[in-house]
Amino acid sequence: MIIGSNNIESHNEGLLKKHQNKLVFTASEIDNTEAIIQKLIDFQIAIPSWALGTGGTRFGRFAGGGEPRSIEEKIEDVGLLHKLNNASGAISLHIPWDIPQDYKAIKALAAQHNLKFDAMNSNTFQDQASSEHTYKYGSLQNVNKAVRKQAIAHNIEVIKHGIELGSQSLTIWLADGSNFPGQLNFRKAYQNTLESLEEIYDALPADWKLFLEYKCAEPNFYSTTVADWGQSYSYVKKLGDKAQTLVDLGHHLPNANIEQIVSLLLMENKLGGFHFNDSKYGDDDLTAGALKPFQLFLIFNELVEGMDARGMNHAKDLGWMIDASHNIKDPLEDLLQSVEAIMIAYAQALSVDRKALEKAQEENDVVKAQEILQNAFRTDVRALVAEARLRSGAALNPVELYRSLSVRKNLIGERGLKTLATGL
């Protein structure tokens, strides 16, 4: 299904007056409105290829119909999102769930939808029918050198796919760990993992990055070999400048101060990027900003502060990706909501009066400092996010247009009700 610019224009016409009134009011509340709008226009969030179908849990999966059956249809779906919000300009592939058969054709199709290929994701947490060795007891940590060799070869194969597609980064998430005390020698598991990562690191092209994603638990429930920011940092510090830590918001122990972790990794120039989502209990992979919007704002507040302190380019110098799983919502509507929530948190962080905040902090004026941050969080910046879309040819209200065009009904018409997308 293709959404035409005429669909966007007629949708925006109906909403323009109300939008302009809100924009005028918002601009009267926030100083650097124009600069914020430009930064929002430049900010692109990569969409995970594995989150375009219905996700599930071990207790069940309720497919919604019209799911993409191939990498081509996944690119079309991300193209739909990008047409609606002009803020989803990249797709992040997961191998072997999305092995490109014809690089040239896939690149041409992505270009047709103004999409780039963001980080490639390897998968050494599932056995493939063709696999000689099992990852039951881990991959890069495995006591068996042949298993580690297989996992290293897979990651190098993923890099090769990425080079052909124009990607410039590899995300490694390791399910490796143990379920019971005594099962694993932590020191040997660390050494095996480091040596294996070094072989993968050596296979990286000069202009590539390796993102090492940490996770506190699941699928292992006693120890995880890359369990937190500190362990990931210790690996990427040893690997070299091309290796950095990836922060998946759902991968922390309860009450972890993620914004402080972000601040430190940025200071150490070891923050590679994000997997945005939200959660209340575990790795729930829910819509970004749906449960803890203030935490998402605080994370962007540290990002703006830390990136400006290093003179970094907000749009280009970090990996901005969503990693979510849609068990009960239309995957495309859920992704539109996640992009919106991320844009709102970024705009709020850009509206913080940094000079006044610094002054309050230097004077230990705690109340003043709090008031400055809470004022930014309580300021409605949605008109700025919508204006950025309007100026870049997208829809003022993407979810509303998605529904009024009955996109899901059309996709079911094209693909059928029972289609299942590859992924989790």
Point out which residues bind Mn ion (CB under 5 A). 248, 275, 323
* Number of chain positions touching ligand LRH (CB under 6 A): 10
Q: What is the closest distance, in whole angstroms, from the C-beta atom of residue 223 to Mn ion in the complex?
A: 19
Closest-approach residue to ligand LRH (CB): 173
Which residue in 43, 50, 117, 208 binds ligand LRH (CB under 6 A)? Answer: 50
- Residue 275 in the binding site for ligand LRH (CB under 6 A): yes
Q: What is the closest distance, in whole angstroms, from the C-beta atom of residue 138 to ligand LRH in the complex?
A: 15
Q: What is the closest distance, in whole angstroms, from the C-beta atom of residue 284 to ligand LRH in the complex?
A: 11
Place of tokens 């047409």: 83
Q: What is the closest distance, in whole angstroms, from the C-beta atom of residue 185 to ligand LRH in the complex?
A: 24
- Residue 121 in the binding site for ligand LRH (CB under 6 A): yes
Q: Which of 309, 293, 391 is nearest to 347 (CA)?
A: 293
- The DSSP code for 50 is G
- Whichever of 174 and 376 has its CB closer to ligand LRH, that residue is 174
- Whichever of 332 and 383 has its CB closer to ligand LRH, that residue is 332
Which residue in 1, 203, 312, 424 binds ligand LRH (CB under 6 A)? Answer: 424
Q: Token pair of 366, please?
A: 């705690």
Q: What is the closest distance, in whole angstroms, from the C-beta atom of residue 324 to ligand LRH in the complex?
A: 9
Q: Which residues contact 281 (CB under 8 A, 6 or more apart)?
A: none
- Give percent helix, percent strand, percent coil of the chain, each to the nearest 5: 50, 10, 40
- Residue 118 in the binding site for ligand LRH (CB under 6 A): no
Q: What is the closest distance, in whole angstroms, from the C-beta atom of residue 50 to ligand LRH in the complex?
A: 5
97 exposure class (CB count in 10 Å sphere: 0-12, 13-18, 19+) = middle
State whether the Cα torsion 407-409-414-419 is positive or negative. Answer: positive
In the list ligand LRH, Mn ion, none, the entry touching 297 (Cβ below 5 to 8 angstroms by class) is none
In the list ligand LRH, Mn ion, none, the entry touching 424 (Cβ below 5 to 8 angstroms by class) is ligand LRH
- Whichever of 331 and 398 has its CB closer to ligand LRH, that residue is 331
Q: How far apart (Å, rounded) are the C-alpha atoms in residues 272 and 267?
A: 12
State whether the Cα torsion 359-365-371-374 is positive or negative. Answer: positive
- Whichever of 67 and 283 has its CB closer to ligand LRH, that residue is 283
In the list ligand LRH, Mn ion, none, the entry touching 235 (Cβ below 5 to 8 angstroms by class) is none
User: What dihedral angle (degrees, nearest 10) is formed by the CA atoms of 345, 254, 55, 127?
Assistant: 120
Which residue in 77, 283, 334, 340 binds ligand LRH (CB under 6 A)? Answer: 283
Q: What is the closest distance, in whole angstroms, from the C-beta atom of residue 121 to Mn ion in the complex?
A: 8
Q: Which of 338, 274, 326, 327 is nearest to 92 (CA)?
A: 274
Q: Which residues contact 208 (CB under 8 A, 6 or more apart)?
A: 159, 162, 168, 169, 170, 242
b/e per residue 363-389 (b: at least 16 CB within 10 A): eeeeeebeebbeebbeeebbbbbbbbb
In the list Mn ion, ligand LRH, none, the entry touching 333 (Cβ below 5 to 8 angstroms by class) is none
Q: What is the closest distance, in whole angstroms, from the C-beta atom of residue 267 to ligand LRH in the complex?
A: 24
- Residue 312 in the binding site for ligand LRH (CB under 6 A): no
Q: What is the closest distance, in whole angstroms, from the C-beta atom of residue 54 to ligand LRH in the complex?
A: 14
- Residue 176 in the binding site for ligand LRH (CB under 6 A): no
Q: Give the strands of the sheet with 116-117, arranged side by side.
A: 116-117, 90-92, 46-48, 319-322, 271-276, 243-248, 209-213, 169-173, 120-121
Bond prior to 293 in cis (omega within 30° of 0): no
Looking at residues 206 to 225 of the shown chain, list those that interact with ligand LRH (rule: CB under 6 A): 213, 215
Q: What is the closest distance, in whole angstroms, from the C-beta atom of residue 171 to Mn ion in the complex?
A: 8
In the list Mn ion, ligand LRH, none, the entry touching 276 (Cβ below 5 to 8 angstroms by class) is none
DSSP state letters, 139-189: STT-SSHHHHHHHHHHHHHHHHHHHHHT--EEEEE---EESSTTS--HHHH
Greatest Cα pair distance, the chain, in angstroms, is 66
- Whichever of 322 and 350 has its CB closer to Mn ion, that residue is 322
Looking at residues 239 to 268 of the shown chain, list those that interact with ligand LRH (rule: CB under 6 A): 248
Q: Which of 49, 18, 51, 23 is nearest to 36 (CA)?
A: 23
State the residues that interact with ligand LRH by CB under 6 A.
50, 121, 173, 213, 215, 248, 275, 283, 323, 424
